[in-house]
Amino acid sequence: MLTVSTPTSHRRSLVAGTVGNFVEWYEFGAYGFFATVIAANFFSTTATSDAESLIKTYASFALAFFFRPIGAAIFGRVGDRIGRRPTLILVLLLMTASTTLIGVLPTYASVGALAPWLLTLVRALQGLSAGGEFGGAVSIMTEFAPPGRRGRYGAWQSFTVALGLLAGAGLAAILATVLSKEALTDWGWRVPFLVAFPLGLVALWLRLRLEETPSFTRASAAAEPRPAGAGEVARAIALGIGRLMGWSAAGYTFLVVMPSYLQATLNATFQQALVATVLANAGFAASILPAGALSDRIGRRPVMVTGAALVVVLAFPLLNLLQDKEAGTAAKGAAVFAAGLVVGLMAGPGPAMLAEMFPTRARYTGLGLAYSLSNAVFSGSAGLIITELIKRTKNIDIPAWYVVVTCAVSVVALLTLRGDDHRRELRD
């Protein structure tokens, strides 16, 4: 029996698709925002400097991202064969369990060298689950989307990234304000990870009420299903990575790595760094949904190219403003808000753009791999690359160089988009 797309199923697809994404990015944001505290608890020894501990923390952060492509391949294959709904439920269970585990892990002071290994193992499990989340969530939202609204529906995936990061930053800011530095380092950092457990239960309830998508049920019911060509999918994945790399690099540099950069390089306080990050994520959230809706009207290409090009033009002026000790607080706040704003121009149409690149039989796997590989290299490694290069070169402009180069490549890749992709039906 084929699933019928109705207004109720549209709403359920949005809620069920985005809620797991919210939990995922809430946790990844919390880990990034508490990077300096986690470094002190899991990687610090008497022979290790603060910079080296932070680099090791970001190495663990990056490792989780490199498990994402594995998760995307495994869960994507399952999702393209047995369905989006059961696969997303399995992914959510793994994500919730691994995130909650971080909140109860013993620290270096308790178990010594075992602590960083336990943290790294749990991060790897998180990476597997996160790799299976994006492809399924975007497939659900875009395959249920009404005609002419894929950009708007897909943008909710990116919007919940912003909401998750904002929630992580907001809770971190509250904890940093109400707790002493000692309490925050001792036990306060655990709170955001433990909160993931009730959030995961709510997400599970919502996903259990979800139906299978019309596109998948139609493709499964076909008398002679057309297999997706491996070469075609591989080429689409490679092109997708090029189109996403600027979004991946700029997004994590401006939205997640910023707190540690401001503290370690510009001597900002923990509270100041978190406020700056909240503003950047607020700008990111403000532009995502309008950008997705606009791409349904004028196309994915002009909106995403504009976002990537603006990063290239504005990266150095914005960073130099943050470095200027004479600049006012309002100006610096506007700078980080603007940084988030331009990233949102890429993130809004991005999910729909990816969904339109793959047929139903390979959509979960293809868009999941393109996204996870791009994030593994250009997001997960952002903190590690930036911190290590600043340490080696003493050049505090490294974050700007990083996002300018990656976004310039994305501009070229995005120009290959067809102008009418947003009007075409998704391929079965």
CB contact set of 33 (below 8 Å; sequence gap of 6+) = 168, 169, 172, 256, 259, 274, 277
Q: What is the DSSP letter of 189?
A: G
pTM of the predicted protein model:
0.84
Boundaries of every domain in the chain: 8-214+229-416
Q: What is the pLDDT of residue 82?
A: 92
Cβ within 8 Å of residue 197, ≥6 positions away: 96, 99, 100
10-residue block means of pLDDT along the chain (428 residues)? 63 85 80 76 62 65 80 94 93 92 90 87 88 92 90 93 81 85 89 91 90 86 66 92 94 76 72 78 92 96 97 91 80 87 95 94 93 86 80 87 95 94 85
Q: Which two tokens stand for residue 244?
A: 């996403």
Residues 310 and 246 sit within 8 Å (Cβ to Cβ):
no
Structure tokens at 217: 């049920």
- Tell me the per-residue pLDDT of 73-129, one tens digit each, with 9 for 90 and over: 999 999 999 999 999 999 999 999 998 999 999 988 888 888 888 988 898 898 899
Other CB atoms closer than 10 Å to residue 64's CB: what's the count?
Answer: 26
The class that CATH gives domain 8-214+229-416 is: mainly alpha
SS3 at position 349: coil
| Amino acid sitting at position 321 | L
7-33 and 114-144 helices, crossing angle to 10°: 160
Q: What is the pLDDT of residue 306?
A: 97
